[in-house]
Each structure stands twice: as structure tokens, then as C-alpha cells.
Chains A and B, each alone.
Chain A
Amino acid sequence: MIATDPSEKLSLYRRIREGDLVIVYERHDSMKAVKVAEGSVLQNRFGVFKHSDWIGKPFGSKVFSNKNGFVYLLAPTPELWTLVLSHRTQILYIADISFVIMYLEIVPGCIVLESGTGSGSLTTSLARAVAPTGHVYTFDFHEQRAVSARVDFEKTGLSRLVTVGVRDIQGEGFPDEFIGRVDSVFLDLPQPWLAIPSAGKMLKPDGALCSFSPCIEQVQRSCETLKTKFTDIRTFEVLLRTYEVKEVRETSCQGDEGGSFKSPPRKKRQHSTEKGNVVEASGPGKIMAKPCGEARGHTGYLTFARLKCLPLKDNQVCSLRSA
């Protein structure tokens, strides 16, 4: 999913190979991650797809089943992965994920701590942001979940960038080996205030922390704890509204037949229109957009803070320089 050297990047030459992870796209709300294996088949409501037909085709290709049904094969990205991964816990979605990464100033080479791992949705994007030289250390107290996460990161090829640990961060804090080494910390815990003092120890001066909590009460309590060691404490909520686009043919109000109101527009679903027959006798429709009826409401509050900076001695300046 994430190139480890320039040769692996996406290109017009890149063909699907044995062992590749592909995202099988049926519809925007129906996708699946599949590992390509010569002898295997994929069976869905569109029929039976032979993996051997896929090998040698570029990513983004349309492939057909025995019943002439079709799907698209996409190269995996963290965004697609978020849509296909198996939900072991509630997961973070693109709006929160993107904002967290930007606000925590995560760039290539950063060392990031995360707890809990959950289903690994955020972890995948964190890995993309720290690649190629940084690392994400993620912890979950749930042994089985950590094992499943490791399997996932193996599958998505992120094992080199992500290490999963089993540890109760609220109870034990982060391991001492990270003290003063970490650029950013992300907490998604029921009682984040218990882990905040430890997170403060792990961070480099001026390092950034984010705590994700669904409830405002958790935010209140976290802010109380943050005040002692942290500054710039700010809480946000990010949501995404999506729009649907349709071609709408309107009856204009002209002459006698037109009243003072427009008749309700006749709608034609975009997906069903084929090239060529869009334009009908009545003339071309208008492209219109409106917010989708269904949207994700509240996900959680994102509380950010920055570790207060204590004045340094000269030798510390040197060590931070070389860090």
C-alpha cells in the first residue's frame, strides 16, 4: 500500500501481480480487499471472477466474471482500506484522520505513539504519513485485537512501519524506552486522562498530543489533566458532508401551460445514464448537486495540546539538534 522505495510507486507500467492486495470495487458503498493468488476465485453477486484473469492487468482495470458481471480492481490506499477493513471496534474516518495528521504535524521520519490500536484505521494513515523513515508504535490492551491488527498490517504491507504492542496504556503508561523520543501521541481511550501524564513524558519538548473522545465529559476531564504539562489546548469536531450529483430535466414555465411554479423536476439517476443517450429530445438536463440525505453525525471530539517547553541547557540543545 505504501511504497518503500521509488520502484514500488504507482505508475502506468505497474501491473497486478500474484500476491498483490487489490481493492475490488463493486460500487462506492461495496468494496472488498482481496489478495491475488493464481488459482483463486472471487465469488459475489456478479458471478465468479478468476484471479488469473486479473494478473498482468493494470490497477484500475475493469474485470469480468463468468456471467459478464464486472468489478474494478484498485490499488489499495489508506482511504480505501478504511472502507473495507473489518470493524473490530468503532473506527476513525477520513475527516478526523486527516485533521489529526495535519494538526499533530506528522511528517516523514516522525515517531508516533498510538493507543488503542482498535481496527487500525488511523494507524494505516499514520504509517503513510511517517513513511519511509519514521515509525508508528501502537498499543492495545486486547491481545486478540492486537494479533488481528498485526495480521492486517502484514496484509497491507505496513509491518515495516508499524509495531503493535499489547499493553494497558491507561494502567501502565507507555513503555519507558520512548521517554523523550516521540514527536506525537494519539489517544483513543475511554479514560484518556489516565494516560496523559505518561504521554507527556514520552513527547519531545513542543511535541503534540491528540485525544479522541466521543463524549464532552471525557474532554472536560482530559483538559483538566492536560493543563499541568501542556499548553495550546484546543478541542475540535470535524465532520464531512457529501453531495450527490444528478442530471435533472426541468420543464420550463412558458406560455399558457406554465404556471407561476416550476413543476417538480424529473430526475434521472446519474449512474444509469450511458454516454450518448444523455441528451434526449427535451434537450440536455441540468447538472445539480445536493447534500446526501444520510450523513455521519457525531464521531468524536478531537482535543489537541502541545507539551510546554522548558528552557534547555546547552548540551540539551545539542542533543535535540542531532535527534
Chain B
Amino acid sequence: MTTKDDSIGSSRVTWEGCSVLLDINDGERLVFARLSPNAQLKIGKKNCSLKPLIDCPFGSVFRVDNGKDGPYLSLVVHTEEVEEGGNSIQEKEDHVTTHESKDNRAIVDNNSAQNLTGEDIEEMRRQGATGDQIIEALIAHSATFEKKTSFSQEKYRLRKQKKYAPEVLVRRPFVRRILKSIKLDNLMSDNYMRCDSLSLLLSMANITAYSDVLVVDMVGGLITGAVAERLGGTGYVCNMHLGATPYPVDIVRIFNFSNDVCERIVHCALDDLCPGQNGSCEQVQKMVSDSTNELDHMEDVPAEENTTSADVPCTTASDHEVRKSIKAGGKASEELIKSWKESGFSSLIVAAPDMDVWSIMQKLHPLLSYSASFAIYHQYLQPLADCMHNLQIGKMAIGLQISEPWLQEYQYFSFLGVVDLNILLWLSFLISISSYDWYFRRTHLSMQMSAFGGYILSGTKISASESKVQ
């Protein structure tokens, strides 16, 4: 058993007990797993041991192969000569130019194009055929494959590869990846946060080493984890809760945080930081009860996470090798709280979807040091507009800005050698209007994207008033 005391990001090789994100078939499914010799992953209908994944570099690709003792994960060796299917890029490109006139006019959807039956494939499997061999057989028995454009051929091959020779890519659990793995389940949920929004929050709140960062993280620990990743074991991230119970930060467990980093993640109640606010107790209670649904929902998230990866038994906390590690999100010590009361936090991030941001801001504003940067995330514009207005009127902050990020992904395909510049210019025009299918090298907008990334209110706290300054 290996213990890692390195700080995050330094190890590029997996170890026993480390947490990984497994990307199955290029984004088809993302599973969080903790590596141990007994851990198993269900891919398709097969269970594979995760043992081969231990001590491999992050970024390695494994493929499900059929062995004597059933399916197992074997490392895929990428070499420059061998591209998918054994064709070199050059060959493929030549191929395209000569068959450019192909299209789908001869393809009829009558389910008779493939004359290899399910039984045939099962038989091949029994005889120990590899996934690649099955795919080649499918192509050989496809009546329409040759009539397809090479672009469609490529798509066909890829589709079959996903089914008959699924690939597993081992990824480091960085916040961006984690976000993606959560996103699959929660894309439509209110708490869904896009990668670009999160990155903006971290920038706008000026998160950097040695910062003491105050967060109100009601999105399952995503903000807490992202901030801790940026602090790298320096400073503190304090997740403040308005009621009596700390907000769940289960997402933090997915990161490969070392003990150094984990002990920098703490929680603390608002009442501990600003006592004597009895008058506002009722209000706080109200806010909490308003957000009960929210809390319930957030508690669901880790549960969902577990169901997604239920096929990985070792994800559960019963792992004894994880025992040793310090649990992130302990209670802030008295000394820490005292020091924060005296010197203030250097940054603030609020992501509390169902809470009134202005009332939170009123309470947290005094806890920030002068000139501290803050960023507040919300799904709706109005609460932020109100908050901004009040901060302006109260002369509490300057540099106030509400921003909404806009993210667009472009897809790139390459099939033809050189393309006339004019066509390209025209193409960029097409890009701007539609995702037009074009039978040569092309870049077009991705069809599926999240249309909305939420709003962020950012600003800088100013010193209360000139008269108070000695």
C-alpha cells in the first residue's frame, strides 16, 4: 500500500487507493472510482477488474479484451504509425479524395444491410475473437459500408468500437473533469454549474496561494474542492453554513487531495463568526427553511454519484486504505475563527442557488478584509441585480459587475488535404449560421451545448468610510 503525501497535481501515475475518473468510450460515461486490486467496473454487461489500472500513467487508455478467465482491461498502445483500423492518416486522406462523390442516396433503412447475426458474433466471441476482429467482420459483412462516405465509415467504425471494444481512459480527478462527471446526471438541474462559470468565479474572487477563502457552497462541495485545488495546501477554505448543520461537501472526496490539502478545508457556522446577531436569527432560520428543498436535493447528489458508480464497489467509504487520510471539511478551530474575525477573509465565493444573496452578503461583508474580491453565482439575474444595487447604494463595494459567460464548442474534422481559402472563408460564414455537414475538412459548431452558464456578480469590498480610518 502506498501513501501519497505529495501535493496534488504532482503525481502523474496512479497508485493503490487513489481516486480516478474513468472516461468510458470518449465521454459516453464518466465514472469515479478508487483503485484497489478488488475494485471492479461494469462495462456493458461485463465486469472487469480495475487492478491493471494501478501504477499506470494518468491518460492511459485501456480496452476490454476477452481472455481465458473472462473479459479484462488491457493497455492500448498508441503509436504514431497505427491509426484506428491500421490505416495511416495519409492513406485515409487519399481515400477520401478519390471517393468524394459518395453520399447516402443508395442507403435504404430496411435493416438488411448487416448480414452477420447476433449469434454469429457470440460465436466469434466464444472463439476468443478480439473486439477489433469482430468490427472487421461486421464491416466485411456490411452491404452498405463501401457506399458510405469515408466520414460515415469512420463514424460506423467508431460506433462499433464503442460496442465491441469499449475503451476506458484513466483521468486525473481535476475539478474540470469532476464537473463533467457530475454534469451528465445533472445537466438539467438547477445546481448545474458550467466549467467556464466556475473558472470565472475562481478568477474574480482572486483565489491564490495563502488566501483565506470564505465560501458558501451549497452545490455539494464543488466550490470548496475547486478552491482547495487552487490553494494547494496553503491558506484555508472555510465553508460557512447559515444554519446549524454544515453543507455537504461530498464532491471534495473525488479529488486526490493530500492530507495537507484536506486539513485546509474547514467549515464553520455563521454564528461562530459573527456572534451577537441574535436579531437576525429568525431571518437566518427563515433562510434555512427556504432552502430546505435545496439541501434535500444536494444530499441526493452524492447518492446519485454512488448509483452511477454502483458498479464500482470500492467507491464506498468501506475502503480501509482511505482510512488513514484526514477527512476534509472538519470544523474550524477556535484560533482560526479568532484570526479570521480579526484579520478578515481575503476572498469570498457564494454559490447558494435558493438563498437570498443580498441577506447573505449583508452578513458576510463585514468578515471580508478591505479590498477583498468576491464573486457570487446565481441561476437567476434578479437576486444579483438587487444585491448589486444594494451594495452600490450602501457604498459597500466597487467594481461591481454582473457577467454571464457564453461558451461555444467547435467541432473539427479532417478528411481532405488542402482547402481553398475562399471555401474556408465561406465555411466560416456557414459556421456562423448552422452546423452544416460538409464533406471535407471542416470545423463547425457543436450541436449539443448548454445554452446557459448562470450569472456572476463580482466586485471589490471598499473600506467602510474615510472617517473611520485612523
Is A237 among interface residues, defined by CB-CB distance under 8 A? Answer: yes
Alpha-carbon separation in the docked complex, A94 to B469 (Å): 33
Is A107 among interface residues, defined by CB-CB distance under 8 A? Answer: yes
Assess the B9–A98 pair: CB atoms within 8 A: no
CB proximity to A under 8 Å, residues B369-428: 369-373, 381-382, 384-386, 388-389, 392-395, 398-412, 414, 419, 421, 424, 427-428
Interface membership of chain A positions 236-280, coded 1 if the CB is closer than 8 angstroms to chain B and 0 otherwise = 111111110101000000000000000000000011010100100
Assess the B370–A243 pair: CB atoms within 8 A: no
Assess the B369–A14 pair: CB atoms within 8 A: yes
Is B188 among interface residues, defined by CB-CB distance under 8 A? Answer: no
Interface secondary structure of B, over-half rule:
mixed
Assess the A275–B394 pair: CB atoms within 8 A: yes
Interface membership of chain A positions 187-228, coded 1 if the CB is closer than 8 angstroms to chain B and 0 otherwise = 000000000000000001110000000001101100110011
| A271 and chain B: residue at smallest CB distance | B392
Q: Which of A101, A105, A270, A309 contacts B9 (CB 8 A)?
A: A105
In the complex, what's the smallest C-beta–C-beta distance from B341 to chain A, in angstroms? 9
Assess the B412–A235 pair: CB atoms within 8 A: yes
| B381 and chain A: residue at smallest CB distance | A289
Alpha-carbon separation in the docked complex, A228 to B90 (Å): 12
Chain B residues contacting A312 (CB-CB under 8 Å) are 13, 56-57
Chain A residues contacting B200 (CB-CB under 8 Å) are 94-95, 98, 240
| B408 and chain A: residue at smallest CB distance | A237
Which residue, A10, A223, A227, A308, has most C-beta atoms of chain B within 10 A? A10
Segment touching A, from B145-153, B170-178, B267-275, B302-310: B170-178
Chain A residues contacting B80 (CB-CB under 8 Å) are 228-229
Chain A residues contacting B409 (CB-CB under 8 Å) are 234-236
Assess the A275–B395 pair: CB atoms within 8 A: yes
Given contacts A11-B343, A58-B469, A108-B232, contact A309 B57 (CB under 8 A): yes
Alpha-carbon separation in the docked complex, A131 to B461 (Å): 24
Chain B residues contacting A310 (CB-CB under 8 Å) are 77-78
Assess the B386–A109 pair: CB atoms within 8 A: no
Alpha-carbon separation in the docked complex, A229 to B89 (Å): 13
Is A132 among interface residues, defined by CB-CB distance under 8 A? Answer: yes
Q: Which of A56, A98, A125, A307 contacts B196 (CB 8 A)?
A: A98
Assess the A317–B403 pair: CB atoms within 8 A: no
Alpha-carbon separation in the docked complex, A132 to B232 (Å): 9
The bracket for how many chain A residues form the interface is 35 or more
Given contacts A107-B9, A289-B385, contact A6 B235 (CB under 8 A): yes
Assess the B196–A301 pair: CB atoms within 8 A: no
Is A60 among interface residues, defined by CB-CB distance under 8 A? Answer: yes
Assess the B89–A72 pair: CB atoms within 8 A: no
Segment touching A, from B119-127, B136-144, B203-211, B312-320: B203-211
Interface membership of chain A positions 56-68, coded 1 if the CB is closer than 8 angstroms to chain B and 0 otherwise = 1111111110000
Assess the B55–A240 pair: CB atoms within 8 A: no
Is A146 among interface residues, defined by CB-CB distance under 8 A? Answer: no
Assess the B443–A220 pair: CB atoms within 8 A: yes
Assess the A98–B210 pair: CB atoms within 8 A: no
Q: What are 21 of the A-B contact pairs (CB < 8 Å)?
A: A8-B210, A10-B346, A10-B370, A28-B398, A72-B398, A74-B398, A99-B196, A101-B202, A108-B230, A129-B208, A131-B208, A216-B410, A236-B408, A236-B409, A236-B410, A238-B405, A238-B406, A241-B404, A245-B389, A301-B410, A320-B11
A residues contacting B by CB (< 8 A) are 2-3, 5-6, 8-14, 25, 28, 56-64, 72, 74-75, 77-80, 94-95, 97-99, 101-103, 105, 107-110, 125, 128-129, 131-133, 183, 204-206, 216-217, 219-220, 223-224, 227-229, 231, 233-243, 245, 247, 270-271, 273, 275, 278, 287-289, 301, 306-312, 317, 320-321, 323
Q: 3 nearest interchain CB pairs? A: A108-B232, A206-B59, A59-B371
Q: List 15 extra interface pairs beyond A6-B235, A10-B369, CB under 8 A.
A: A2-B208, A10-B370, A12-B343, A57-B463, A74-B398, A94-B200, A99-B195, A103-B199, A107-B8, A216-B427, A241-B405, A243-B385, A243-B455, A245-B389, A320-B57
B residues contacting A by CB (< 8 A) are 7-13, 55-61, 75, 77-78, 80, 89, 172, 174-176, 195-196, 198-200, 202-204, 206, 208-212, 229-235, 342-344, 346, 369-373, 381-382, 384-386, 388-389, 392-395, 398-412, 414, 419, 421, 424, 427-428, 431, 441, 443, 455, 460-463, 465-466, 469-470
